[in-house]
Structure 1
Amino acid sequence: MRAGHADRDRTLDVLKAAFAEGRLTVQEYEQRHEAVAAAQTYGQLAVLVADLPSGPMTAPSPTVATPVPATFMPVPPPPQARQTNVLAVVSLVAGLVGLSAPAVVTGHIARAEIRRRNMDGDWAAVLGLVIGYLGCAFWTLMILIGLA
């Protein structure tokens, strides 16, 4: 089967990576580079990288989206855990203890910080706000009933 420009480019990527890793000398790399330019079939390309860790595909595949073999792709960094906002936890605790006004104030401040700094703990801030507002409504109702 005839090879296309993209196939030659993938083969060159394998050769470049092998040269960078010290698997090929300068002369070997230059000889294979010239041979890739002259290659017309998949078989000719496969022979040029057969002794390397990764070579070109044996047949075209529409599912391959990356021009570089997965062997030579950089390793993604591990995901880092986001820090939990302290004021969100303070808002939740204040709401649960019965300190309604501080729960509302710290909840709003915490939500603003969470959005600005991309932090975790929004659920705690929202729950603190809900409990704080319910507490404020309860105490307002108690005061109004007491005055009547």
Structure 2
Amino acid sequence: MNDPDFLRIGTEERDQALQALGDHFAKGRLPVAEYDERVSKAVEAETRADLRPLFADLPPPHPAVLVPHPIVPQPQYPMAPMPPNQPAYSPSQRYRLAAGLLQILLPFGIGRFYTGHTGMAVAQLLLSFVGVGVIWCLIDGIILIARGGTDAQGHDLRW
């Protein structure tokens, strides 16, 4: 069974077929009764071969599962050597947990001063007098702890 038409399809492929049928119905290519019949067949389809007759007499768009994708071998390129004077990547000397906790416990942009983002830190500091900066710092601290961040040089913060 090397024929791709007899591969089983899933919910995503059925949804693509239903969307394409809806587009054809919206453009007036299918009457209501025929649209209902094709939709019920698309919902019951188990293989690509079951979907193909539903679109045989319709112009594109067809569901992506029915569009042939030729397999083209990708050329293999050798990896370029790293220049000798280029230092290897190194993570930041700053810690994301420290930056996040500083943002949460001292919500005046202190964590951003720690990471070297002085512009953002000054904005958080000034906005903290209005109250918005405190909320910004709390959310920023949670994000720093959860997802990490970078220091001013663009290096990823350590755990």
Q: Report the TM range for the smaller structure's normalisation.
A: 0.3 to 0.5
| Structure number with higher helix proportion | 1
TM-score (ref. length: structure 2): 0.36
TM-score (ref. length: structure 1): 0.38
